[in-house]
């Protein structure tokens, strides 16, 4: 067995015997032990683990664990990651009352009733399981971050009591109604992507949202999002949206907007955005030019990135504006390089080339 030790952290790496022979520091204040997901650790024997009674962080991923009986003896644990242990039985987890972070991603769970007693939990990840009923979650009043994504046909009604939630991921859960989210006014980050035909009307009450992902939801309109004036990141890619609502202009905090994969032909509302700074048609890297001369000559202050490939630009005027913006952005980047370049003459010739292209596009 090979150990990486830093007194407070021990990582058990691949060992060919499939068990942990000893814990040499059981009398030391260990904070964390990680047992990586290696083939040699499949079916590992965790009996010696019980001797490390002051352990606070434990990660045992993809090690073919079948139950948590031995782990539940570590009553001082605060953070536990048992992800990718398919068929895991978590009946005894309730004994670890001090847990604040628990990750059970991809464990083939059908029920999480045993979690309801872990009232100190602040972060819970139960994504990639087979859950449909999560009633027990309603007891976790201290939860701040919750990931229940990729649980097909999930009933999210118990979420309405978790008013302290700040971050929620419920993507790809077969959702259609979001009434349970209306009381969650403290939410700042919400991922709802890949829930086709979802009704987003209830989202208008979540005015503390700064990040919202509604990609791949078959949306036709985003009009109901107009009260969300604190949004900084809005993702509505690959929907059925055919126009961008003029109320986007009122989202003064918006820094990133992604609308690629829609049938949009009119981008006037983006061009008039008060904080418009950089337009990126192709979804490539957007340059931050907030301290440079604004190529679109607007009052740009915050918006850094707009992505909308795979849309339909029908007016030549719109196309010219887009390409002109891209060329001006490239010129700004090259001019910034000139200041530090050794071959100024060569770099200047490149700038001249882009100026010529820019003039051609403007015609």
Per-residue pLDDT, 288? 32
Residue ranges of domains in the chain, CATH in brackets: 1-143 (3.80.10.10)
DSSP 34: E
Per-residue pLDDT, 160? 97
Q: Work out the angle at residue 335's Cα, subtended by the Cα atoms of residues 329 and 338, and round it to the nearest 5 degrees.
A: 150
Per-residue pLDDT, 14? 38
The pLDDT tens digits of the residues spanning 15-29 come to: 333 334 344 444 444
Q: Is the pLDDT of residue 225 over 60?
A: yes
What does pTM read for this prediction? 0.74
Let me know if 345 is exposed, middle or buried by CB neighbors in 10 A (0-12, 13-18, 19+).
exposed
Give long-range contacts, CB 8 A cutoff, 24+ apart: 222-231: 223/247, 224/200, 225/200, 226/250, 228/203, 228/204, 229/253
The pLDDT tens digits of the residues spanning 80-103 come to: 999 999 999 999 999 999 999 999
Q: Across residues 54-70, what is the average pLDDT?
A: 91
* Residues in the chain, total: 363
SS3 content of the chain, % helix, strand, coil (to 5): 25, 15, 60
Per-residue pLDDT, 7? 32
The percentage of residues in the chain with a pLDDT greater than 90, rounded to a whole number, is: 48
| pLDDT classification of 183: cutoffs 50, 70, 90 | very high
d(CA 55, CA 12): 14
275 or 258: which leads in pLDDT: 258
Per-residue pLDDT, 349? 57
Q: 3-state class of 125 per DSSP?
A: strand
Per-residue pLDDT, 355? 64
129 or 33: which leads in pLDDT: 129
Strands (E) in the chain, as ranges, are: 3-5, 9-12, 32-35, 57-60, 79-81, 101-103, 123-125, 145-147, 167-169, 189-191, 211-213, 233-235, 256-258, 305-307
Q: Work out the angle at residue 21's Cα, subtended by the Cα atoms of residues 20 and 24, and round it to the nearest 5 degrees.
A: 100
Q: Across residues 130-149, what is the average pLDDT?
A: 96
Q: 3-state class of 263 per DSSP?
A: coil
Please provide the DSSP assignment of 310-345 as one string.
S-----HHHHHHHHHHHHHHHHHHHHHHHTT-S-HH
């Amino acid at each position: 067995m090979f150990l990486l030790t830093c007194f407070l952290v021990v990582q058990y790496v691949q060992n060919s015997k499939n068990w942990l022979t000893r814990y040499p520091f059981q009398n030391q204040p260990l904070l964390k032990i990680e047992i990586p997901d290696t083939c040699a650790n499949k079916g590992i024997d965790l009996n010696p683990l019980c001797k490390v009674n002051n352990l606070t962080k434990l990660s045992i991923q993809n090690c073919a664990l079948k139950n948590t009986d031995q782990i539940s003896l570590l009553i001082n644990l605060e953070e536990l990651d048992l992800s990718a242990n398919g068929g895991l039985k978590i009946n005894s987890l309730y004994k670890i009352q001090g847990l604040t972070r628990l990750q059970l991603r991809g464990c083939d769970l059908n029920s999480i009733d045993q979690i309801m007693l872990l009232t100190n939990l602040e972060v819970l990840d139960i994504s990639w399981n087979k859950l449909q009923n999560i009633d027990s979650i309603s007891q976790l009043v201290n939860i701040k971050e919750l990931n229940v994504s990729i649980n097909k046909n999930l009933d999210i009604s118990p979420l309405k009591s978790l008013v302290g939630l700040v971050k929620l991921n419920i993507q790809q859960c077969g959702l259609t109604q979001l009434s349970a989210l209306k009381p969650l006014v403290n939410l700042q980050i919400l991922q709802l992507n890949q829930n086709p035909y979802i009704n987003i009307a209830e989202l208008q009450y979540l005015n503390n949202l700064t990040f919202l992902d509604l990609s791949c939801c078959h949306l036709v309109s985003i009009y109901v999002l107009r009260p969300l004036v604190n949004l900084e990141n809005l993702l509505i890619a690959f929907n059925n949206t055919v126009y961008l609502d003029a109320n986007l202009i009122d989202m003064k905090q918006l820094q990133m907007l992604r609308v690629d994969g829609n049938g949009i032909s009119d981008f006037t509302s983006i061009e008039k955005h008060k904080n418009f700074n950089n337009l990126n048609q192709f979804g490539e890297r957007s340059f931050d030019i907030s301290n440079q001369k604004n190529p679109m000559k607007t009052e740009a202050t915050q918006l850094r990135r707009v992505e909308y490939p795979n849309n339909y630009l029908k007016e030549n005027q719109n196309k010219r504006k887009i390409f002109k913006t891209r060329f001006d952005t490239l010129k700004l980047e090259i001019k910034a390089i000139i200041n530090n370049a050794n071959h100024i003459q060569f770099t200047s010739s490149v700038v001249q080339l882009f100026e010529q292209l820019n003039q051609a596009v403007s015609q």
